[in-house]
Structure 1
Amino acid sequence: MRGIPIGGVLLLLALLYLRTLAPGITWANNGSDSGDLITAVLTGGVPHPSGYPTYLLGASLLSRVPIGTPAQRITLLSALAALLTVALVAVLVQRILRPTFAHSRLPAAAAALAAGWLGVSPLFWSQAVIAEVYTLNALFVALLLLLLYRSLTCTTPASPARALTEGGMVGLALGTHLTIVLPVLVWLGVAAATSPAERRGAALLGRAGGVLVGALVYVLLPLRAAALPPVNWGHAATWDGFWWVVSGQPYRGLLFGVPSALLPDRVHAWADLLVQQFGWPGVALALVGLLFAPPHAQRFGWLSAALAAGYSLFAIGYNTTDSHAYLLPVYLIVAVWVGLGTAQVWALLHQHAPRVAPALLLVLVVFAGWSAWRTLPQVDAHYDTRATDFAEAVLASVPPDAIVTTSSDQDTFALWYHHYGLAQRPDVVLVVAPLLSFEWYHTTLYATYSTLPWPAIGTPDWPAALAERTRRPLCHTDPLTPLHCTAPPP
């Protein structure tokens, strides 16, 4: 049996991602946050909680690459992170299968199939082609799974240098998304429990020290906030502001906030989404991979199942319409099980029906390819210019020196990118109406438009009061309705 080269899978996925990559800021694939993230990168700012400093670090580096537009360069981070995630999934599947199939190409074939299947699954693909934090977070989840498997199976204790290095990488992971705390804690616990008793304290200290060093990436947030950029959520230069951002304080009420009457629908949607990613054949293979994992990998299988359950409970209970994005680590774990299940089923067929076994991988590859063909139009963001078209139309239409109030993430972040990120229409003043209840936002406005006579916080109809003070036109935007402007007060 010939193996499917993972290099070929990665090349194919790279071509698919480039073909479907968003041209800049986008509203496709629930990607309205792209405007916030990209603008924060370009202006040295801090995006919405939890600040995502590791994302800021990677995106800032890519933004300096002299190709395409700034937004296109930063969007490439999602695609690159997705490809690296797929590669790590393949490495993990091969490492698990190699002891059982030592002299076979089956581990490479099963790993390539599982990794490629993940790469073209609807949610994973949708996030690989927009500027978002989720594929970078998935990359570190995959890394943590590799470290977890190593801790469970490696008989050689990690050296102090290795423990510190592993901890440093895990510390960086904390800057991708708060939900990664779950696998981080599991890894630290397992790594400590599996270390020799006489070295347990030193190993735990080394790894924990590395985590603290890596987590210093969060220092980026107060450093950036202190410069008073126009995108400065929470004003993290103060301790209260820093904690407001990194703890996700404005979103705490959403955690397990789904009404109990809606939980059955959420659970049903969770099951539907799982089938949408891999189809019934993939789900069946995943169950085989979990239930009949090689003996040396059974502890890893059940720990990964516990992680998948934890992420699922979080996503099901998180009271937003786009909480399904938090299931990406679940699908990554399921992809690993798919690889293990594929190998187990192939081995069984090879033993009892050797003439049928070679066809298994071909059938699965065809099914995954057919699924990708069906998924393509759902996730293709290449032609989505709605956000840019909206922002350019608004900025072309508003009168000179207008005050423009925005009402949602979509119109706000699109205008932020063009006004702050690209420095278009510097005469215009942007005011985000839903943020006026936060003192930190007033601080940001005062710093960004320092020459204006600002009304006091709490002034009734604050934007109108500003327009009256400055004798400027007042306009209001909404993604679904035409721009509405009123003439400046006499």
Structure 2
Amino acid sequence: MSSDLDYRPSYFAAAIAAGLTFLLYLVTLAPETAMWDTSEYIAAAYTMGLPHPPGNPFFVLIGRVFSILPIAPNVAMRINLLAALSSAVSAGMWFLITERVLVGWFEKRWQRIAGGALAVLIGATAFTVWSNSVVNEKVYTVSLVGMAISAWLIVRWCDEPDAPGANKLLIMVAYLCGLGYANHMAGMLVLPAAGIAVLLRKPSIITNWKLLVTCVAVGILGATPFATQPIRAAHNPPINEGDPTACRDGLRLDCTLSKGTYEAFMYNFNRGQYAKPPVTERMAPFTAQVGMWWLYFKWQWIRDAQGERPGLQGSLAAIFLLLGILGGWVHYRRDPRSFAFFGPLMLTLTIGLIYYLNFKYGASQAPELGDMVDREVRDRDYFYLWSFSAWSVWAALGLVYVWESIAVVIGRERVTVGKESYDLPTSKGWALGAPILLIAFIPLVANWTSASRAGQTDTADVAIDMLNSVEPYGILVTVGDNDTFPLWYAQEVLGIRKDVTVANTSLLNTEWYTRQMIRREVFDYDAESGPEAFRGQQWTKPDGPALKMTYQEADGLPLYQEIRTPQRFQKGEIVADIQPQVLQRADILVLRMILDNDTRAIHFSRTAGNLPQQLGLGDYVVMQGHTRKLRPRRIQPTDGFVQVPGEGWVDVQRSVALWREFKAPASLANRTPWTDMPSIGIPGLVVNTGIITGEALQRSGNVVAADSIFRSVRAVAETMGFRELLASLPGPDTPRPGNDAQQAIPLPPTAPRNP
């Protein structure tokens, strides 16, 4: 295509910019997994499984390819490279779009390339973009690259919609949108803006029914990865969330092509288990939802996680907001053709996206409101990654406009073009005005520490430590994402402690997860690679799954059961009085696993909070590393355990032996400060376990060993910024000051227990 000034896109310069972006991400790449959904998606990709609904099949397919490519020393890094590559290519697309806008503005190519480079620098180092590009937390960077490529194709179409081959660009966009939808619903975000651009640039196209039918057909073709879900689910992969098939005993044609599979697939496709209300039922005031976007926008230019520089953060956000608004105005004035698409796109990625997502208050938003408002369980800034990344185009245009304005003041020359005369900057003006461009380097410098994940292995280490706290062939009861997904990663990707059965109470409330528990294979325990604390003993391999029920029995369990009068649960010498409450399906299944297993040890993750007490088992559990082990009889003072106020009984010998082998204390102490406050309970768990183990040692008279543990706890607490805890931690030979320090440690919240 031809256009202004015989324009030819600077693909080579864009490739260099994308390459440098990729290099930045390589330097700051995570060598392992991370919190939240990272472990789930890495494990799902590696095992060709199904992550949580709707399952993201396109990501799983390309993630699987990356997981087996010999491009990095381990699976996690290979899939993290997928995120880095996706964002780097996206940066190249924003470069090209920015350069295109500058064609009618600047005659010299170097000026246009400078503008594109500014867009890359600003967008690639925005906090959410950067931090999600160095670890594959989910599918968002893959969505970003599809969106960015589509945006570039539509901008090219807007140049000359009547040129030969122009319709092919629209067909390609339709295919990318369908393919993107198979990765995440965000794959469709460019469509509203594309439709507006078509109506503005070539409205007659809506009568071209062949083109419209072709676009719909290729869009459906792009979405065909969804067809893999019922097939793969029937093979019962280890991660099979939603289980969108009616087949229970392997892949068969009759059950795959059945009404049951269709209903299961559609329930999974529509995310039925989450029961999210329609957008017309607002989860928070729209002003508060805009406020959430603004909070996350402020994070992009300096991620002040500890709240130490709010004034600077707000000022930088105001600068980049104004630059973007100015850039949007310049875009409209200088290149209305591409603005016909990009303007509506930015409206979609901001106001439109805020309205559609319909979030509750953000986890870190308006802390003064506390629990008076419903909140998201975590900060959702990653949903606005597309908004912050695309904002770089307008921010760069705004910065170029400011640069030019300063340069004209410093030195100008009168240029006449036709009948029009203009004041343009001289070379000296451009050079002396260039320092203003340092603004674009601010997020690179300000976010390096917070966005970089180089060397961070703590999430995997915590998972390994938690699994190793469980006796061979034991059952580990967990409650949420951050105490479960990393365990899946450790077992399915690293192959560590697959003998442990993980039972997540949040997921036990679903039928599909219960079926996975029933069919789960019993894996051999490898004593040589297991912790020394369990060596030298004989461990009996169970002869069946942890949950001994039929599928029909499991499917027939109610979602909850109201206990109106005290009920007694008994297993051997365990006699538990369950007080009146609402028992969830998961609680019933936990009790059933206790009944069904004689050789398996039952462990409750310490993240499960007071679940043992709620089930009447408080007098039967003893702390062992990061877990509480269920004992076969009521614990007595003569059993050799130490009682710690506020915690209960502690198996000191076993806990100390495990602590000595734990990996997480060292990796947490050596990492950069924690930025994600909603997940800080995980390092809090490590610190809390160390403090209680140390206190139990003190109470048993071993002060020297206690001091050693307290020193390692202090190192983690200093990195995590647990200020109150540091003030109360005992030094050498200092008695511990009661139980107050435990209360200052943030522990992971338990899952909601309402039906």
TM-score, normalised with respect to structure 2: 0.59
Q: Does 1:423 align with 2:495?
A: yes
Question: In the alignment, what sits opposite 2:68?
Answer: 64
Q: 2:106 aligns with which of 101, 105, 109?
A: 101
Question: In the alignment, what sits opposite 2:341?
Answer: 300
| Shift in Å, 1:351 | 4.4
| Shift in Å, 1:403 | 1.1
Q: Does 1:173 align with 2:180?
A: yes
Q: Does 1:221 align with 2:229?
A: yes
Secondary structure of the residue that 1:174 maps to in structure 2? helix
Secondary structure of the residue that 1:150 maps to in structure 2? helix
CA contact (8 A) 1:41 1:56 kept: yes
Count of residue pairs the alignment pairs up: 482
Partner deviation per Cα, 1:223-280 (whole Å, 9 max, x = no partner): 221211121111122223322332233344266576546x544433422432442533
In the aligned structure 2, how far is the partner of 1:360 from the partner of 1:241?
62
Question: In the alignment, what sits opposite 2:117?
Answer: 112
Question: In the alignment, what sits opposite 2:26?
Answer: 18
Which residues of 2 match residues 361-380 of structure 1 at below 5 A? 361-364=434-437, 366-380=438-452
In the aligned structure 2, how far is the partner of 1:393 from the partner of 1:352?
63
In the aligned structure 2, how far is the partner of 1:119 from the partner of 1:53?
26
Which residues of 2 match residues 193-342 of structure 1 at below 5 A? 194=202, 196-197=204-205, 200-237=208-245, 238-253=261-276, 256=279, 259-260=283-284, 263-278=286-301, 279=316, 280-293=318-331, 294=334, 295-308=336-349, 309-315=351-357, 317=359, 320=376, 321-342=378-399
Question: In the alignment, what sits opposite 1:477?
Answer: 605
Q: Does 1:467 align with 2:594?
A: yes
Amino acid across the alignment from 1:339: A
Question: In the alignment, what sits opposite 2:655?
Answer: none
In the aligned structure 1, how far is the partner of 2:149 from the partner of 2:177?
8
Secondary structure of the residue that 2:496 maps to in structure 1? coil
Secondary structure of the residue that 1:54 maps to in structure 2? helix
CA contact (8 A) 1:407 1:432 kept: yes
In the aligned structure 1, how far is the partner of 2:117 from the partner of 2:608?
44
In the aligned structure 2, how far is the partner of 1:384 from the partner of 1:9?
27
Which residues of 2 match residues 393-432 of structure 1 at below 5 A? 393-432=465-504
Secondary structure of the residue that 2:68 maps to in structure 1? coil
In the aligned structure 2, how far is the partner of 1:25 from the partner of 1:270?
27
Amino acid across the alignment from 2:211: A
Q: 1:215 to 1:259 in 2, by over 3 A?
A: closer
In the aligned structure 1, how far is the partner of 2:159 from the partner of 2:490?
51
In the aligned structure 2, how far is the partner of 1:197 from the partner of 1:270?
36
Question: In the alignment, what sits opposite 1:129?
Answer: 134
Question: In the alignment, what sits opposite 1:81?
Answer: 86
Secondary structure of the residue that 2:224 maps to in structure 1? helix
| Shift in Å, 1:479 | 4.8
Larger mean Cα displacement after TM superposition, 78-87 or 441-450? 441-450
Secondary structure of the residue that 1:397 maps to in structure 2? coil
In the aligned structure 2, how far is the partner of 1:359 from the partner of 1:186?
39
Secondary structure of the residue that 1:427 maps to in structure 2? coil
CA contact (8 A) 2:196 2:340 kept: no
Gaps of 5+ in 2: 1-9, 246-260, 302-315, 361-374, 412-427, 523-543, 558-584, 610-625, 635-755
Question: In the alignment, what sits opposite 1:40?
Answer: 44
Amino acid across the alignment from 2:86: A
Larger mean Cα displacement after TM superposition, 467-476 or 111-120? 467-476
Amino acid across the alignment from 2:293: W
**Aligned alpha-carbon RMSD (Å):** 2.8
Secondary structure of the residue that 1:101 maps to in structure 2? coil
Larger mean Cα displacement after TM superposition, 441-450 or 224-233? 441-450
Q: 1:290 to 1:189 in 2, by over 3 A?
A: closer
CA contact (8 A) 1:163 1:210 kept: no
CA contact (8 A) 1:188 1:204 kept: no
CA contact (8 A) 1:407 1:478 kept: no
Larger mean Cα displacement after TM superposition, 406-415 or 96-105? 96-105
Secondary structure of the residue that 2:106 maps to in structure 1? coil
Question: In the alignment, what sits opposite 2:548?
Answer: 454
CA contact (8 A) 1:403 1:430 kept: yes
Amino acid across the alignment from 2:117: A
Amino acid across the alignment from 1:181: M
In the aligned structure 1, how far is the partner of 2:241 from the partner of 2:432?
54
Amino acid across the alignment from 2:37: D
Gaps of 5+ in 1: none
CA contact (8 A) 1:151 1:190 kept: no
Q: Does 1:391 align with 2:463?
A: yes
Question: In the alignment, what sits opposite 2:152?
Answer: 146
Q: 1:184 aligns with which of 191, 197, 216?
A: 191
In the aligned structure 2, how far is the partner of 1:421 from the partner of 1:433?
22
Q: 1:431 to 1:446 in 2, by over 3 A?
A: same
Question: In the alignment, what sits opposite 1:358?
Answer: 431
| Shift in Å, 1:185 | 4.2
Q: 1:162 to 1:488 in 2, by over 3 A?
A: farther
The structure with higher relative contact order (CA 8 Å, sep 6+) is: 1
| Shift in Å, 1:117 | 0.9
Larger mean Cα displacement after TM superposition, 228-237 or 298-307? 298-307
Secondary structure of the residue that 1:98 maps to in structure 2? helix
Question: In the alignment, what sits opposite 2:737?
Answer: none
Larger mean Cα displacement after TM superposition, 307-316 or 103-112? 307-316
In the aligned structure 1, how far is the partner of 2:103 from the partner of 2:453?
38
In the aligned structure 1, how far is the partner of 2:356 from the partner of 2:20?
33
CA contact (8 A) 2:289 2:354 kept: no
Secondary structure of the residue that 1:292 maps to in structure 2? helix
Q: 1:488 to 1:178 in 2, by over 3 A?
A: farther
In the aligned structure 2, how far is the partner of 1:96 from the partner of 1:341?
12
Amino acid across the alignment from 2:512: W
In the aligned structure 1, how far is the partner of 2:33 from the partner of 2:18?
25
| Shift in Å, 1:183 | 2.0
Larger mean Cα displacement after TM superposition, 263-272 or 300-309? 263-272
| Shift in Å, 1:111 | 0.8
In the aligned structure 2, how far is the partner of 1:187 from the partner of 1:298?
11
Q: 1:74 to 1:445 in 2, by over 3 A?
A: same
Amino acid across the alignment from 2:100: R
In the aligned structure 2, how far is the partner of 1:231 from the partner of 1:173?
22
Q: 1:259 to 1:276 in 2, by over 3 A?
A: same
Give the number of the structure whose alpha-carbon radius of gyration is greater: 2
Q: 1:368 to 1:259 in 2, by over 3 A?
A: same
In the aligned structure 2, how far is the partner of 1:87 from the partner of 1:469?
57
| Shift in Å, 1:135 | 1.1
In the aligned structure 2, how far is the partner of 1:40 from the partner of 1:301?
35
Determine what percentage of the aligned residue pairs are the same residue: 23
Q: 1:297 to 1:435 in 2, by over 3 A?
A: same
Larger mean Cα displacement after TM superposition, 198-207 or 313-322? 313-322
CA contact (8 A) 1:164 1:207 kept: yes
In the aligned structure 2, how far is the partner of 1:71 from the partner of 1:254?
35
In the aligned structure 1, how far is the partner of 2:274 from the partner of 2:152?
31
Larger mean Cα displacement after TM superposition, 58-67 or 163-172? 163-172
| Shift in Å, 1:209 | 1.4
